[in-house]
Amino acid sequence: MRPRLSVRIGKLKLQNPVMVASGTFGYGEEFKDFIPLRSLGAIVTKTITVRPRRGNAMPRTCETPYGMINSIGLENPGIDGFIRDKMPALKKIGVPIIVSIASEGGFEEFVQLARRLDKIRQVAAIELNISCPNIKVQSTEYGVQRKRPGAATYDLRDQLIAQDPQATYNLVKAVRKVTGKTLITKLSPNVTSIADIAVAAEKAGSDAVCLVNTFTAMSIDIDTKKPKVAAGTGGLSGPAIRPIAVRMVWEVYRQVKIPVIGMGGILDASGALEFIIAGATAISVGTANFINPKASMEIIAGLKKYMVKNNIGALKALTGSLQL
């Protein structure tokens, strides 16, 4: 029996469910000497903003038990530099290219980026990174205000778009109007109910949701009494977060009809299978790329082996097969 690993996400048909996560795989070229890039399900680029970003001050990363904290600050060449310098090589790889985008201002920058990428045929999908914990948004144009008890109204500059269902809905709806490409909304785990955010994204027209982004975290150097990353806090990723991420995927899967892309501490096929059984249509490999550049290929091979061993013909039969 030859197992069928292909999956569909919106208009995308992936030859297998193994993607590589934004910010951990550069723009693909960085890994071409380690793995056959054409064997991946899809590549998610480093997040792009309208203008070039230098990112946060050094140091930007530190190790933690079973994980790492990063505070890169979305360093990138900006949309013009990306199209000019990165897209030519990406076009030649031969797998779906998903471009991750974010805003330094309001959602008008998301709209601007999506409109430009919509015109590039080789861009297969757009990932809305509304959940990066390492960048402050400097705009109030989310169409949402809240009021603290005994205080004046405040805007959403102090939190991520992905922490408010209405802000998420407004943003996704605005982007949906300017692109026909597959739209994936990347969710933050730093919320009370991630399912509520996922439902808002679905109602606004997102073709899929991706979860989870990193957990806001801090690690301290006990000798200097300073944070180990210059920004103070950063995003925790790696195997330490996987059980929480799996639980969140399961919660979201039960509430939405669109595909769920699972991520968070996947090192091997066993970890990938946990997400798929919990409800993920596809998975994304992140921190593992730093530890083992061949992790994605090993996961693909491991999924095939598991399916043959258990006489499973199509991967979709595993999605959401959790037995309670």
Which residues carry out catalysis?
Answer: 132
Which residues neighbour 130 within 8 Å (Cβ) at sequence distance 6 or greater? 102, 160, 161, 162, 168, 171, 185, 186, 187, 188
Q: How far apart (Å, rounded) are the C-alpha atoms in residues 237 and 22?
A: 13
Which residues neighbour 204 within 8 Å (Cβ) at sequence distance 6 or greater? 168, 169, 170, 171, 172, 173, 176
Q: How far apart (Å, rounded) are the C-alpha atoms in residues 102 and 86?
A: 17
Structure tokens at 77: 């060449």
What's the order of all strands across the beta sheet hosting 61-64? 61-64, 67-70, 234-237, 215-217
**Secondary structure class of 145 (helix, strand, coil):** coil
Residue 284, phi then psi, degrees to nearest 5: -130, 130
Half-sphere exposure for 125 (CA within 13 Å, toward CB): 29
